[in-house]
Structure 1
Amino acid sequence: MTAQFPGYFISFEGIDGAGKSTHIDSFGSLIKQRYPDREVVMTREPGGTPLGEQLRTLLLDAPMNLETEALLMFAARREHIAQVIEPALKAGKIVISDRFTDASFAYQGGGRGLSLEKLNDLEQWVQGRPDGSLLQPNLTFLFDLPGSIAEARRSKV
């Protein structure tokens, strides 16, 4: 929960081809219009920082062990939190992220079979706050659709 910050954190989740990218840009524009006095920070995972973008390239292109993949994802996330998300939230900004931790539970956990215990441990370590809470979005939009439709959309690109 981001209650200790004056900002607001929103994430968009869903498989590739679900429509996140199409909607996140429109949503960001709408939020900017609705709240002209608040800065909106648009970001993504993996990525969001120079190091995160380098890790994104590795994660998307290099074959690797499942646990290595999870560790790199959470390393990129820690950097993202420290360099982008927390400073923006502390400054009262609205952060809109294309994916966050739910994606790791879906991809590395559900999709690749990494144990939820390991993912929970990484989440606690990377997102844990001094008060024992976790940094989590205030709101998450989940784009859910059949894989066959998402695949058809991706093949059109």
Structure 2
Amino acid sequence: MIEKNAAHPTQQSRTFLTDLVFPPDTNHHNTIFGGKVMAYVDKIACISAMRHCRKPVVTASSDSFDFLAPIKTGDAINLEAYVTCAHRTSMEVYVKVERENLLTGEKQLTARAFLTMLAIDENGKPTIVPQVIPETEEEKQQYVQAQARYIDRKKKRN
């Protein structure tokens, strides 16, 4: 068993989710509702953060959510999430969303987001989380950039 508050590699939080986009998931343009994508993003960020800290979490903020391209009826929606950085009680989670044409195999980045998740105890109070150990070059780059985003978030709150 992994000690709850020891530093954990990013890989421990890496989470994947794939689903098929059906007509009820889409608007009159035959593209998935933005709110549905946001719900997927929140859900996978929650799973990723819980895998990192092994505690209940809540969404504290979403400071960046960029829609880059549509996902159409019949496409697969592929999401990948991982904890980029952890602070005392919060974690930043990066989520990448792709569309996949299942007939051709073509994939395209369609959205990305950074969410802050807060770990809570049984009384709903913030609780300490493990630090992150970035291993790949991408993870190390995200870790450094997460520090700057954290400072920006703190400035906006004050």
Which TM-score band (shorter chain)?
under 0.3
> More relative contact order in 1 or in 2 (CA 8 Å, sep 6+)?
1
| Larger Rg computed on CA atoms | 2
TM-score w.r.t. length of structure 1 = 0.26
TM value normalised by structure 2? 0.26
Q: Which has more strand, going by share of residues?
A: 2
